[in-house]
Amino acid sequence: METKKEFAYKGLVINGFVALFGILVLLALIVCCFVMAERSGGYVLCGGILLIVTMICLFGFIKQEPNEAKVLVFFGKYSGTFTKTGFYWVNPLLNKKSVSLRARNLNPEPIKVNDKAGNPVLIGMVLVWKLEDTYKALFEIDSQSFATPVVSNGHAIVARSLSMAFENFVRVQSDAALRQVAGCYAYDNASSSDELTLRSNAEEINEQLVRTLNERLAMAGIHVTEARINYLAYAPEIAAVMLRRQQADAIIAAREKIVEGAVSMVKIALDKLKDDGIVNLNEERKAAMVSNLLVVLCGDEAAQPVVNSGSLQ
């Protein structure tokens, strides 16, 4: 089993307000040093050093909301993931990369794929995903190329760039997973009643889709909590032909039901005539009666009655 490389940051962490008070104290000492600089040149040197230290310490503040994390890197070495919510101060020399742990939706456009029978179909899905392993998300895939360094409001823009990198990775892998799953099943009308189809077995197909997506996205530390097919149709070039086939199947099924009912009704009629002794029919007359009743019961149009005044013997 693969060892998880993500771990919690265990370095120095100070409450942000306490650290802010300490910086204010340093600023007061700096002012005192420059005021007393007239007495000795050493105060100027001390004040300059304190000023540099104070400026560096200002970069150690972090503010974090729920379901967010900071990946801390010390000169290229992964130092841990900071997930505490609130206002804190950490080592200002750490590079802080903000990532979101919130659940996100992805609803790509439907794509054209070939089902198991080779028929082109349009299929689309919607999925819910979130980050579970920040180490893999930042260092196992090429997400850094999206995080372009900026001068103004750098942390927020880099975080958005990382989010776009993750969404792009999920979009590409979800496209491949959907093609893989859709190619394993027929659209409908499977040759065996036990065979799964895209149209009739949505729950089973969705479960298979989730498993396939998680296998593909595990390398990026991304977990898919839900994935569902939300669009399924034949491609336009065969939609009309498939519609006629579906209509033919429906007509055949309806005809079978009508014939089955008509045969049952004819049998009931013959048995009733025989049991009640209303009329005695020879085999020829029975065959004629069965033929007439089937025509009446199975015909698409209303039958025109013909009165037979001849003998039934």
Tens of pLDDT, residue by residue over 153-198, are 455 555 667 778 888 899 999 999 999 998 888 887 655 567 788 8
Q: What is the DSSP letter of 1?
A: -
The kind and range of the H/E element at 89 are: strand 86-89
Could you give the CA distance from residue 61 to residue 58 in angstroms, rounded to a whole number? 6
H or E, element range at 252 = helix 236-276
Report pLDDT for 61.
93
Residue 112: φ, ψ to 5°: -95, 125
Mean pLDDT over the full length of the chain: 81
Percentages (nearest 5) of helix, strand, coil residues in the chain = 50, 20, 30
Contact 35, 42 (CB under 8 A): no
Which residue in the block uniquely carries the two structure tokens 């889709």?
209
Q: How many residues does the chain have?
A: 313
Which residues have a Cβ under 8 Å from the Cβ of 73 and sit 6 or more positions away?
Answer: 79, 94, 95, 97
Give the pLDDT score at 142.
80
Q: Measure the CA–CA gap between 90 and 74, rounded to whole angstroms.
A: 12
Q: What is the tens place of the pLDDT at every residue in 73-113? A: 999 899 999 999 999 999 999 999 989 999 999 998 999 99
**Structure confidence at residue 43 (pLDDT):** 74
Token pair, residue 88, equals 């804190």
pLDDT score of 309: 55
Q: Is the pLDDT of residue 307 over 70?
A: no
- Average pLDDT for 52-71: 91
Among residues 127, 73, 45, 138, which one has the least CA distance to residue 100?
Answer: 138
The CATH homologous superfamily of the domain defined by 104-234: Band 7 domain (3.30.479.30)
- The pTM for the full model equals 0.70
pLDDT at 147 over 60: no
Tell me the β-bridge partners of 124. Answer: 231
Residue 145 has pLDDT above 60, yes or no: no
Q: Where, residue-wise, is CATH 3.30.479.30 in the chain?
A: 104-234
Question: What pLDDT score does 260 carry?
Answer: 80
